[in-house]
């Protein structure tokens, strides 16, 4: 295994100085940094093979197509999809979830049907379902969370019933860090005849993901949270569902034949990939998957668990600081917290003066903050390149924030 110093050397941005301090990047839950291997393959594509895919017979187009489809194959293997045809390239997890909502939802939801999600969802797994329920007459419902930041199992047992057509839930909360039991939740959805849609934006970069073992009907994730570039994401869907769904967007490449009298759709996965795709970004995501695979997800998981447990102990040394969500044994690599009466934006601004990057706000998850009756929180998150020394710097800076505000 490489050392943490060797891993950090793969990320050029970590050499940056911020306000006279070495950068401590603790915001990977929002967007991770990119290793040289990802930057290199994207640069190589633009320098050597820049051409559109699927449409040309010249050398550059064939090379670009091969690289693009090879990335799809490697991503399918990374999540153990049964076929690369079940891997749809999207802009991000948000677009993937919207694709299911508009394509499957508009075709299958009717008055009397219910869509169920949870109180801990990112807005991307709430708003599309609210919109589609309003359009179809279906009812939108949600499972509340406990004071500890876990799903309320008793409420779930009542809410998940024969009227539920679809249960959408996150595998890991981007605010609470809560890791949900995906497979049991999928089984409960299937037991009442509902489909299971999993937001894997936080789980796929940090945990083992085997979509066949989980048996989820759909799972969406983003490249930029797992060492890949922005502008590329993945929707995994079981083939039988994708085959039955109408296209999400119309245009080039998603068709087999177009006549003025009507059109016929292309095969999977292209039916859902209208227009020129994010070619370089897909190739970059393929390289990111290779990097994580070579490093080993077992190592990544253990490293993050160690950092999270360490941060949990250190942050609880700061008087007046309150961490949201469950203990370190039930959460992923992030800690959202409140520091006394100091506004989270002020906390983040002071940390930035020390070269420490964290996120402050509602993190596109306002219902969670409403649950705790707070407007926002500060969030520190960890990934494969972070160290305990950076957490120590965070704690020192939090004490400084308290002194600035005389708290």
Kindly report which listed range (147-161, 253-267, 314-328) carries the lowest average pLDDT score.
253-267
% pLDDT > 70, the chain: 100
pLDDT of residue 132: 98
Checking phi first, is residue 320 left (phi over 0); if not, alpha (psi -120 to 50) or beta? left
Residue 144 and residue 155 in contact, taking contact as beta carbons nearer than 8 Å: yes
Kindly report the length of the chain: 407
Question: How do beta strands 262-265 and 255-259 pair?
Answer: antiparallel
Residue 132 and residue 106 in contact, taking contact as beta carbons nearer than 8 Å: yes
Instruction: Give me the mean pLDDT over the 233-242 stretch.
Output: 98
Instruction: Give me the mean pLDDT over the 373-397 stretch.
Output: 98
Give the position of tokens 């039991």. Answer: 181
Cα gap 78→101, rounded to integer Å: 25
pLDDT band at 56 (very low <50, low <70, confident <90, very high): confident
pLDDT of residue 92: 98
Residue 402 above 80 pLDDT? yes
Which value, to the nearest 10 degrees, does the dihedral of the CA atoms of residues 272, 278, 282, 288 take?
-130
Q: Give the predicted TM-score (pTM) of the model.
A: 0.96
pLDDT of residue 170: 98
Q: Which residues are catalytic?
A: 364
Q: What are 29-48's pLDDT values in tens digits?
A: 999 999 999 999 999 999 99
Tokens for 229, please give them: 């570039």
pLDDT band at 1 (very low <50, low <70, confident <90, very high): confident
pLDDT band at 165 (very low <50, low <70, confident <90, very high): very high
pLDDT band at 406 (very low <50, low <70, confident <90, very high): confident
Instruction: Give me the mean pLDDT over the 256-269 stretch.
Output: 93
**Sheet containing 359-361: which strands, arranged edge to edge?**
321-323, 334-339, 377-381, 359-361
Helices (H) and strands (E) in the chain, counts: 15, 17
Residues 6+ apart with CB under 8 A from 12: 36, 39
CB count in 10 Å sphere of residue 252:
14
Residue 31 and residue 225 in contact, taking contact as beta carbons nearer than 8 Å: yes
Instruction: Give me the mean pLDDT over the 365-375 stretch.
Output: 96
Cα gap 357→37, rounded to integer Å: 23
Q: What are 187-223's pLDDT values in tens digits?
A: 999 999 999 999 999 999 999 999 999 999 999 999 9
Beta strands in 271-333, from DSSP E residues, in sequence order: 321-323
Sign of CA dihedral 388, 389, 390, 393: positive
Residues forming a β-bridge with 88:
235
Residue 14 above 90 pLDDT? yes
Tokens for 199, please give them: 């937001």
Q: What are 299-323's pLDDT values in tens digits?
A: 999 999 999 999 999 999 999 999 9
> To the nearest whole number, what is the mean pLDDT of the chain?
97
Residue 79 and residue 236 in contact, taking contact as beta carbons nearer than 8 Å: yes
Instruction: Give me the mean pLDDT over the 331-342 stretch.
Output: 97
% pLDDT > 90, the chain: 97
- Go through the domains of the chain in sequence order and give each one's CATH number: 4-30+297-404 (3.90.1150.10), 40-293 (3.40.640.10)
Residue 105 above 90 pLDDT? yes
pLDDT of residue 348: 98
DSSP symbols for 256-280: EEEETTEEEEPPTTGGG--SS--HH
Cα gap 120→123, rounded to integer Å: 9
């Amino acid at each position: 295994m490489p050392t943490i110093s060797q891993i950090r050397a793969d990320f050029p941005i970590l050499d940056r100085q911020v306000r006279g301090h070495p950068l401590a990047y603790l915001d990977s839950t929002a967007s991770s940094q990119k290793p040289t291997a990802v930057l290199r393959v994207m640069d190589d594509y633009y320098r050597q093979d820049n051409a559109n895919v699927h449409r040309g017979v010249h050398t550059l187009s064939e090379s670009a197509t091969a690289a693009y489809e090879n990335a799809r194959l490697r991503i399918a293997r990374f999540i153990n999809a049964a076929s690369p045809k079940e891997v749809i390239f999207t802009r991000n997890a948000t677009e993937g979830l919207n694709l299911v909502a508009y394509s499957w939802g508009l075709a299958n939801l009717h008055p009397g049907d219910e869509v169920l999600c949870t109180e801990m969802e990112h807005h991307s797994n709430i708003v599309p379902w609210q919109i589609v329920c309003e359009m179809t007459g279906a009812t939108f419902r949600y499972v509340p969370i406990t004071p500890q930041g876990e799903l309320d199992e008793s409420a779930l047992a009542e809410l998940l019933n024969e009227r539920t057509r679809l249960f959408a839930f996150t595998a890991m909360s981007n605010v609470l860090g809560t890791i949900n039991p995906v497979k049991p939740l999928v089984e409960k959805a299937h037991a009442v005849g509902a489909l299971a849609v999993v937001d894997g934006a936080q789980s796929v970069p940090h945990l083992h993901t085997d979509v066949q073992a989980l048996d989820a009907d759909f799972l969406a994730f983003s490249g930029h949270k797992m060492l890949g570039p922005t502008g590329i994401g993945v929707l995994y869907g079981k083939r039988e569902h994708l085959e039955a769904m109408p296209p999400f967007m119309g245009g080039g490449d998603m068709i087999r034949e177009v006549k003025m009298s009507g059109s016929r759709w292309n095969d999977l996965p292209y039916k859902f990939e209208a227009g020129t795709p994010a070619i370089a970004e897909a190739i970059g995501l393929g390289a990111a998957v290779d990097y994580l695979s070579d490093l080993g997800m077992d190592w990544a998981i253990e490293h993050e668990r160690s950092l999270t447990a360490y941060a949990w102990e250190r942050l609880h040394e700061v008087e007046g600081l309150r961490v949201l969500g469950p203990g370190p044994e039930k959460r992923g690599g992030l800690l959202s917290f409140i520091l006394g009466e100091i506004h989270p934006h002020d906390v983040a601004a002071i940390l930035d003066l020390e070269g420490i990057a964290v996120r402050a706000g509602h993190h596109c998850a306002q219902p969670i903050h409403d649950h705790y009756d707070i407007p926002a929180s500060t969030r520190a998150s960890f990934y494969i390149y972070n160290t305990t020394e950076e957490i120590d710097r965070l704690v020192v800076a939090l004490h400084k924030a308290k002194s600035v505000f005389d708290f």
